């Protein structure tokens, strides 16, 4: 095998991966980082001059160089995307060791008067007997979001905030309103390891037929939606760990997920037929109990089920898990 052909082919593959990743949003291309790998070209040319183009040793070393270069560029690009996303959402991760924290205790004591002590907010949108259906538009930045309980009100929001504030606004028709929830504000110094971040707990009325639209950045989301009647569910996330439990309260539920670097797990009832479609991205998939059929994944009971859940994933680098309960 000709080492020149291997190097040229590997170089084209690397460029293809980079441009494809840029188009699909897996990472952005940092040409400065790529240019720093130029010494590998000199090493390759030197090996070819010494060993010859068709020498087996040159071929092996060329493959090794490509195995180093391609993952290095991709990992550095992904790391920079992660860093930019956390910075955009106001998150600073403290990588210092415990000794430094201990040494700075005196400084922390001196600054106690200036430390932000956080606040709590509770917002309620009352229920009206005329409301049959509603749309929830949920927008948040860096936080931990929970939906675990129901409410007699239309929407109830409790928040423990170290920065920013939440808002709740109802618009639209009296019998089919839109409720906009938003978490706004950011800080430049949040230490995740010390649990110094926002927590939001949302409660909804289970008697209403819901369209739900969630959009949030870095953080964690734990949504138990099994008690709600949901017609459409849309989730757009950035750098998150997202767990969603779905129920069987409606005959047909359409779910669309758009994400970046995300760890997503869905739970679906065994009594419901479920179909999964994936569009784009590099995905680590775990669909236990599903069968692959005509380009998508289905539960064995999908065709015969009177109740169905359709999951559609779109995004970049995802760890996807769907399990039945």
Torsion-angle region of residue 315: left (phi > 0), alpha (psi -120 to 50) or beta? left
Alpha-carbon distance of 226 to 270, in angstroms, equals 13
The mean pLDDT of 251-272, rounded to a whole number, is 90
Statement to judge: residues 31 and 124 lie in one domain: no
Q: What is the pTM of this model?
A: 0.64
Quickly count: other Cβ atoms within 10 Å of residue 154's Cβ.
22
Can you give the pLDDT at residue 164? 85
139, 217 in Cβ contact below 8 A? no
Mean pLDDT computed over every residue of the chain: 77
Statement to judge: residues 150 and 247 lie in one domain: yes
Label residue 99 by pLDDT band (50, 70, 90): very low
Statement to judge: residues 132 and 274 lie in one domain: yes
Asked if residue 217 is part of any domain, the answer here is yes
Asked if residue 79 is part of any domain, the answer here is no
Statement to judge: residues 149 and 244 lie in one domain: yes
Q: Which of 64-78, 237-251, 265-279 has the lowest mean pLDDT?
A: 64-78
Task: Please tell me which residue, 118 or 130, carries the higher pLDDT value.
Answer: 130
Can you give the pLDDT at residue 130? 95
Residue 116 has pLDDT above 60, yes or no: no
Q: Which of 45-49, 143-147, 157-161, 317-321 has the lowest mean pLDDT?
A: 45-49
Alpha-carbon distance of 56 to 61, in angstroms, equals 9
- The b/e string for 98-126 (b: 16+ C-beta within 10 A; e otherwise) is eeeeeeeeeeeeeeeeeeeeeeebebebe
Where helices occur in the chain by DSSP H, the ranges are 3-24, 31-35, 39-51, 56-88, 98-103, 105-110
Asked if residue 168 is part of any domain, the answer here is yes
What is the tally of structural domains in the chain?
2
Q: Which of 3-7, 33-37, 48-52, 231-235 has the lowest mean pLDDT?
A: 3-7
Label residue 31 by pLDDT band (50, 70, 90): low
Q: Kindly report the length of the chain.
A: 325
Asked if residue 55 is part of any domain, the answer here is no
Asked if residue 114 is part of any domain, the answer here is no
The mean pLDDT of 66-81, rounded to a whole number, is 58
Task: Please tell me which residue, 36 or 206, carries the higher pLDDT value.
Answer: 206
Label residue 281 by pLDDT band (50, 70, 90): low
Alpha-carbon distance of 178 to 156, in angstroms, equals 14
Distance set, CA 294 to CA 11, 279, 316 (Å): 34, 14, 22
Asked if residue 263 is part of any domain, the answer here is yes
Statement to judge: residues 141 and 44 lie in one domain: no
325, 267 in Cβ contact below 8 A? yes
Can you give the pLDDT at residue 196? 52
Asked if residue 88 is part of any domain, the answer here is no
Q: Residue 204 burial (CB < 10 Å; 0-12/13-18/19+)?
A: buried
Statement to judge: residues 133 and 245 lie in one domain: yes
Alpha-carbon distance of 301 to 83, in angstroms, equals 43
Residue 266 has pLDDT above 90, yes or no: yes
Can you give the pLDDT at residue 72? 64
Statement to judge: residues 130 and 32 lie in one domain: no
The mean pLDDT of 24-39, rounded to a whole number, is 57
Residue 48 has pLDDT above 80, yes or no: no
Statement to judge: residues 310 and 203 lie in one domain: yes
Asked if residue 220 is part of any domain, the answer here is yes
Q: What is the domain range of residue 12?
A: 8-48
145, 158 in Cβ contact below 8 A? no
Alpha-carbon distance of 110 to 80, in angstroms, equals 35
């Amino acid at each position: 095998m000709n080492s020149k052909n291997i190097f040229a082919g590997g170089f084209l593959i690397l460029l293809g991966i980079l441009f494809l990743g840029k188009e699909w949003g897996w990472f952005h291309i940092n040409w400065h980082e790529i240019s720093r790998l130029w010494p590998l070209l000199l090493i390759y040319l030197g090996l070819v001059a010494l060993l010859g183009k068709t020498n087996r040793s040159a071929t092996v070393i060329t493959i090794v160089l490509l195995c180093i270069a391609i993952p290095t560029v991709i990992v550095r690009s992904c790391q920079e995307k992660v860093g930019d996303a956390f910075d955009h959402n106001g998150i600073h991760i403290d990588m210092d060791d415990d000794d430094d924290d201990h040494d700075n205790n005196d400084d922390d004591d001196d600054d106690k008067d200036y430390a932000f002590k956080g606040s709590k907010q509770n917002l309620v949108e009352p229920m009206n007997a005329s409301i049959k259906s509603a749309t929830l538009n949920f927008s948040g930045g860096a936080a931990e979001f929970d939906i675990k309980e129901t409410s007699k009100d239309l929407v109830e929001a409790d928040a423990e905030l170290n920065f920013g504030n939440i808002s709740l606004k109802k618009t639209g028709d009296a019998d089919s309103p839109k409720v906009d929830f938003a978490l706004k504000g950011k800080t430049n110094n949040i230490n995740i390891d010390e649990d110094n971040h926002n927590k939001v707990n949302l409660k909804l009325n289970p008697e209403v037929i819901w369209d739900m639209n969630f959009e949030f950045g870095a953080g964690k989301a734990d949504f138990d939606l099994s008690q709600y009647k949901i017609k459409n569910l849309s989730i757009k996330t950035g750098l998150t760990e997202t767990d969603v439990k779905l129920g069987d309260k409606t005959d047909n539920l359409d779910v669309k997920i758009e994400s970046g670097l995300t760890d997503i797990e869905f739970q679906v009832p065994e009594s419901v037929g479920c179909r999964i479609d994936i569009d784009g991205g590099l995905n680590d998939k775990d669909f236990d109990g599903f069968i692959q059929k005509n380009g998508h994944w289905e539960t064995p009971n999908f065709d015969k089920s009177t109740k169905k859940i359709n999951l559609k994933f779109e995004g970049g680098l995802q760890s996807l898990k769907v399990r039945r309960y």
